[in-house]
């Protein structure tokens, strides 16, 4: 769609908005014109919140998750099991696992996965600090919770090699049929994996 904008200021704001993932020109225009209808103080609050976040966001020195403090609340929490580290790609994944309320250990945010196609090599990720945490001792288990993609698998294997010299249990999150999914529509790899990695059944499915 060759949309002509009646104002260059409008066009620039739309352009900035459409750089965001999943936001096309049409959605961007709608969002920008919505903001334009709000008070100047509201627009200022919106603009300022983003810039302040970028300028002042801190990252936990232990797990690299975003934090207001040098050590994030999870790493600093004495009730969390510091001997279990869940390795995730990014901050969203920390929040996703936290939302399950099923995990009481700590995290390690890699900042991505190894992807030669996208120019992401192991040195671009927080792998060294993960190895240091394990080398320091006190870590019993490292749970790999990366995406089930080729890049995720490559990263799993790379970390497996790096950690193999240490006395630490390595595990990956279970791959299987999603809750609510019908068997006939599951792909063969997932279904196969869910049979191989079947779990003991005690009468309760969840």
**98, 118, 128, 181: which one contacts its own copies (CB under 8 A)?**
98
Is residue 104 within the footprint of its own copies (CB under 8 A)? no
Helices 8-18 and 25-36 pack at an angle, to 10 degrees, of 120
Is residue 131 within the footprint of its own copies (CB under 8 A)? no
Is residue 45 within the footprint of its own copies (CB under 8 A)? yes
**24, 61, 70, 73: which one contacts its own copies (CB under 8 A)?**
73
Is residue 118 within the footprint of its own copies (CB under 8 A)? no
The least distance separating its own copies from the CB of residue 194, rounded to whole angstroms, comes to: 26
Cβ closest to its own copies, residue 4 vs residue 187: 4
Is residue 34 within the footprint of its own copies (CB under 8 A)? yes
**62, 64, 74, 151: which one contacts its own copies (CB under 8 A)?**
74
C-alpha span between 174 and 176 (Å, rounded): 6
Count helices and strands (H / E) in the chain. Answer: 8, 6
Cβ closest to its own copies, residue 9 vs residue 150: 9
Cβ closest to its own copies, residue 89 vs residue 133: 89
* CA 10 to chain centroid: 33
Is residue 18 within the footprint of its own copies (CB under 8 A)? no
Query: CA–CA distance from 141 to each of 43, 78, 82 (Å)?
Result: 47, 18, 10
Between the CA atoms of 73, 143, 141 and 162, what dihedral angle is there, to the nearest 10 degrees?
-110
The least distance separating its own copies from the CB of residue 198, rounded to whole angstroms, comes to: 30
Task: Say if CB 86 and CB 71 are below 8 A apart.
Answer: no
Is residue 47 within the footprint of its own copies (CB under 8 A)? yes
Contacts of 193 (CB under 8 A, 6+ apart): 175, 176
* CA 33 to chain centroid: 31
Half-sphere exposure at residue 52, Cβ-oriented, CA atoms within 13 angstroms: 7
Is residue 147 within the footprint of its own copies (CB under 8 A)? no
Is residue 116 within the footprint of its own copies (CB under 8 A)? no
Which residues lie near its own copies (CB under 8 A)? Answer: 1-10, 12-13, 15-17, 19-23, 27, 29-36, 38, 40, 42-58, 65-68, 72-74, 90-92, 94-95, 98-99
């Amino acid at each position: 769609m060759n949309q002509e904008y009646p104002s260059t200021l409008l066009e620039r704001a739309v352009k900035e908005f459409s750089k965001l993932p999943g936001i096309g020109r049409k959605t961007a225009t709608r969002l920008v014109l919505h903001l334009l209808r709000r008070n100047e103080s509201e627009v200022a609050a919106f603009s300022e919140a983003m810039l302040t976040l970028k300028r002042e966001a801190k990252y936990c020195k232990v797990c690299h998750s975003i934090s207001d403090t040098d050590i994030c609340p999870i790493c600093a929490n004495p009730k969390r099991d510091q001997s279990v580290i869940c390795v995730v790609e990014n901050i969203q994944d920390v929040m996703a696992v936290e939302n399950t309320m099923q995990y009481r250990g700590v995290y390690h945010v890699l900042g991505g996965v190894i992807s030669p196609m996208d120019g992401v090599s192991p040195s671009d990720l927080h792998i060294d600090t993960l190895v240091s945490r394990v080398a320091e001792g006190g870590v019993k288990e490292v749970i790999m919770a990366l995406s089930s993609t080729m890049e995720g698998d490559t990263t799993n294997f790379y970390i497996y090699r790096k950690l193999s010299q240490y006395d630490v249990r390595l595990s990956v999150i279970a791959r299987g049929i999603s809750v609510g999914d019908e068997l006939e529509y599951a792909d063969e790899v997932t279904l196969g994996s869910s049979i191989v990695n079947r779990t003991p059944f005690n009468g309760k499915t969840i």
